[in-house]
Amino acid sequence: MAHLRLPISDYIREYGPHVSDSPVTGWGPKPEPDRLVETHCCFCGMQCGVKLQVKSGRVIGIEPWEEFPFNEGRLCPKGVKRYMQTHHPDRLTDPLIREGAGFRKAGWDEALDLVASKARAIQAKRGKDAFAMLSGVSLSNEKSYLVGKFARLALGTANLDYNGRFCMVSAGAGNKKAFGIDRVANPWDDIPEAGVVLLAGTNVSECFPTLTHYIWKARDRGAKLIVVDPRETPIARTADHHVALRPGTDSALNQALLHELVANGWFDREFVEQRCTGWAELRASVERCTPEWAGEICGVPAALIREVAAAWGQAKTSFLLHARGVEQHTKGVENVLGLINLVLATGRIGRRGCGYGTITGQGNGQGGREHGHKCDQLPGNRDIENPEHRKHICDVWRISDAELPRKGKTTVEIVEAIHAGGIHGLLNICFNPMVSHPDTGFTREALERLEFFCVIDFFMSETARYADVVLPGSLHEEEEGTSTTAEARVVRIRAAVEPPGNARRDTWILLELARRLGKEEHFRFSSSEDIFNELRRASAGGTADYAGITYERVEREMGVFWPCPSEGHPGTPRLFEDGRSYHPDGKFKLLPTPYRPSAEVPDAEFPLYMTSGRSVFHYLSGTQTRRIKFLVEKSPGPICEMHPALATRLGLVDRQLVTVETRRGAITVPLRIVETIRPDTVFLPYHWPEELAANQLTVRALDPVSKMPEFKVAACRVRAATRGEADRARSLFAELKLEAS
């Protein structure tokens, strides 16, 4: 049983997070690097090109990579400082096995044999699916593909899912419904050509800072910028139109905008009637959705909705981008479809300057979701329940259909099944649910009920503390591979150094486990490129077709856009240029998205909206960024953002410690009073664990289609912290800034 037996401060003292801010060579005169390794930043879907300076097998610094076409040297602070994680004192350097109250170091044979024997024992007793696997899309394409194959063939479980479930599944589901393909439709190079840029629920300047440059390039040419966000984010600050709507009301806004497009004739009749299906139904569905109706629901002036509709409707070219702000809802897929409807209604897609796309949040959020570590997918973005799709993969893997598991549970459902006693063993790589999963208290209870839990990670994440075995894996810069950026450009990740101590490459760990599970015959890979070449064959003929992409091409061309079905194919930066979707009939699907309320809305007891999101200084669950001093100093811990009008009403002052409560839990954090948020809404960033986890408060309610949790809306109340809560918060915040000795 994986109850924590030590106080959390003991784990922090032993394994961190500690903050460190000194290059491995110190701050003295810098040695001349032996070589510069051209690779990519490991944080966020932009995958900015960067050069790592390497000296005697160690990463000693960075140099901007100005020749890489997307970012031309531009970086955010995470990208500049990421190299400080490579030789961080917190790196795990030996396998660890739970013993007594803590862990003891072990050899690889003992640790791997233990994992294999426990998995076998649980599966023998309770069935194959009683052992689940969770993964993450900060992994390369090769590792994502390998995890999918490993879980299905080596573990033989249907229950494999990934943290993309918290990232872009709503967008993926919406894109597949409307377009028959799950990919951004245009390269970022099309943004500067757009006459209007609409950003819906995407804090571009904090989550994808380097994309900001492209938006400014459009604005320099006269483009109007529309931002839809409950907060005046740094990108919203300068927008031409900022719709600061109530959290969870996007679908009402989208309907009213469509209503205005119809009412004013700002739609492309030929496109909607000839290239799409469902125009009549869609048009009828918004007939009564006036700006007044939506304004009431969204809490914004009807006149503003009209202005936005006019700006969007009358443009000649446009680019619509969205991200987690509209996607992390129980109606995430509907929000996405509502936005796609605005694009399709105007027919502005498939050509230069006319674009659409979700901005994938995780490093390899795009590639990772295409090659099979999602519970319902096989490589090439194939459907695990489709007989033809199954056959193709069975042929590549040389197995029978009976050997390939069917659709399994999604991430939250896996955690719920663990909690309910249906899943007893778990292997977890590249995922930190103790920070990122909704309803932290429930997640903890689930982890505590596991019969056996193994975590592969390079740092002792907050989740790994609950493990029976921790296997020290590799960082982005320690293994060869590829990654697919948010614009669907496959880029090359290069190994700059070896993993430290007895840590091993993730691929080696998975291959060794497969061997010990008796499945070596399916896992004979000699290199990452070898895995990639099998991925190419597995993806061939699927929508995410990588067949024509080789390492050599990726390096020479500085990235290749999929689909790329053959080596002579140039790749596909822009989709739909022939006016056809990827559905069999070639039509784009217009689907009505009537407004409905969020799972939980404010009431007398919990009268405020709570919404959550990111800070520019941290990446996802913070396992990496909470260890780098520069980033920690700028953003040491969570804060609660609140409008001064609300603060006055509640009698709260700036920087005071406040307690935010929902039906799931409470969190005590400093208050930041700022006019850039709606007075009925408070904001909390989610990068911190345990008692400082914003996800203690979030709702474990899922989108019925994508199974995305509703991170963006909860009902809450806020009050001054009690003395006890404040004392506790101070000691927790002090631990966040512990320096490595």
Are 605 and 710 within 8 A, CB to CB?
Answer: no
Are 340 and 347 within 8 A, CB to CB?
Answer: no
**Residue 517 backbone dihedrals phi, psi, to 5 degrees:** -90, 10
Gap between the Cα atoms of 644 and 415, Å rounded: 39
The least CB distance from residue 721 to other proteins, in Å, is 10
Residue 21 or 555 having the CB closest to other proteins? 21
Residue 11 or 208 having the CB closest to other proteins? 208
Residue 384 or 729 having the CB closest to other proteins? 729
Residue 571 or 637 having the CB closest to other proteins? 637
Residue 576: left if φ>0, alpha if ψ -120 to 50, beta else—which one?
left
The least CB distance from residue 549 to other proteins, in Å, is 28
Residue 316 or 655 having the CB closest to other proteins? 655
Q: Interface residues with other proteins (CB under 8 A)? A: 21-22, 27-30, 61-62, 64, 66, 71, 73-77, 79-81, 205-206, 209-210, 212-213, 216-217, 219-220, 222, 232-235, 237-238, 616-617, 630, 633-637, 639, 644, 654-657, 670, 672-676, 730, 733-734
> Quick one: tokens of 46?
């932009």
What is the amino acid identity at position 150? F
Residue 521 or 654 having the CB closest to other proteins? 654
The least CB distance from residue 606 to other proteins, in Å, is 25
- DSSP for residue 459: S
Which DSSP string do the residues of 486-550 spell out, in sequence order?
Answer: TTSEEEEE---SPPSTT---HHHHHHHHHHHTT-GGG---SSHHHHHHHHHHHHTTSSS--TT--
Residue 567 or 727 having the CB closest to other proteins? 727
The least CB distance from residue 406 to other proteins, in Å, is 44
Residue 126 or 730 having the CB closest to other proteins? 730
Grouping H, G, I as helix, E, B as strand and the rest as coil, residue 323 is coil
Which DSSP string do the residues of 266-300 spell out, in sequence order?
Answer: -S-HHIIIIIEE-HHHHHHHTTT--HHHHHHHHTS
Q: How many CB atoms lie under 10 A from the CB of residue 421? A: 11
- DSSP for residue 677: B
Whose tokens are 């009902």? That residue is 715
The least CB distance from residue 713 to other proteins, in Å, is 23
The least CB distance from residue 678 to other proteins, in Å, is 15
> Quick one: tokens of 160?
């494999």
Of the candidates 73, 2, 61, 72, the one whose C-alpha atom is nearest the C-alpha of residue 35 is: 61
The least CB distance from residue 716 to other proteins, in Å, is 19
Residue 514 or 729 having the CB closest to other proteins? 729
Q: Which residues contact 301 (CB under 8 A, 6 or more apart)?
A: 295
The least CB distance from residue 249 to other proteins, in Å, is 23
- In 513-656 the beta strands, taken as DSSP E runs, fall at 560-561, 588-589, 608-613, 640-642
Residue 52 or 464 having the CB closest to other proteins? 52
Gap between the Cα atoms of 621 and 436, Å rounded: 6
Residue 84 or 342 having the CB closest to other proteins? 84
Are 598 and 329 within 8 A, CB to CB?
Answer: yes
Whose tokens are 């909860």? That residue is 714
Question: What Rg value do the Cα atoms of the chain yield, rounded?
Answer: 25
Gap between the Cα atoms of 366 and 491, Å rounded: 12
The least CB distance from residue 466 to other proteins, in Å, is 27
Residue 239 or 340 having the CB closest to other proteins? 239
Residue 690: left if φ>0, alpha if ψ -120 to 50, beta else—which one?
left
The least CB distance from residue 694 to other proteins, in Å, is 14
Query: How many angstroms separate the first and last alpha carbons of the chain?
Result: 32
Are 476 and 85 within 8 A, CB to CB?
Answer: no
The least CB distance from residue 92 to other proteins, in Å, is 26
Residue 196 or 575 having the CB closest to other proteins? 196
Residue 307 or 641 having the CB closest to other proteins? 641
Strand (E) or helix (H) holding 96: strand 96-99
Q: Which residues contact 653 (CB under 8 A, 6 or more apart)?
A: 647, 671, 673
Residue 224 or 329 having the CB closest to other proteins? 224
Residue 238 or 502 having the CB closest to other proteins? 238
The least CB distance from residue 643 to other proteins, in Å, is 10
What is the amino acid identity at position 590? L
Are 697 and 660 within 8 A, CB to CB?
Answer: yes
Within its chain, how far is the Cα of 333 from the centroid?
Answer: 16
Gap between the Cα atoms of 77 and 210, Å rounded: 11
Q: Which residues contact 357 (CB under 8 A, 6 or more apart)?
A: 183, 184, 185, 186, 320, 321, 486, 487
The least CB distance from residue 129 to other proteins, in Å, is 44
The least CB distance from residue 84 to other proteins, in Å, is 10
What is the amino acid identity at position 472? P
The least CB distance from residue 689 to other proteins, in Å, is 16
Within its chain, how far is the Cα of 363 from the centroid?
Answer: 8
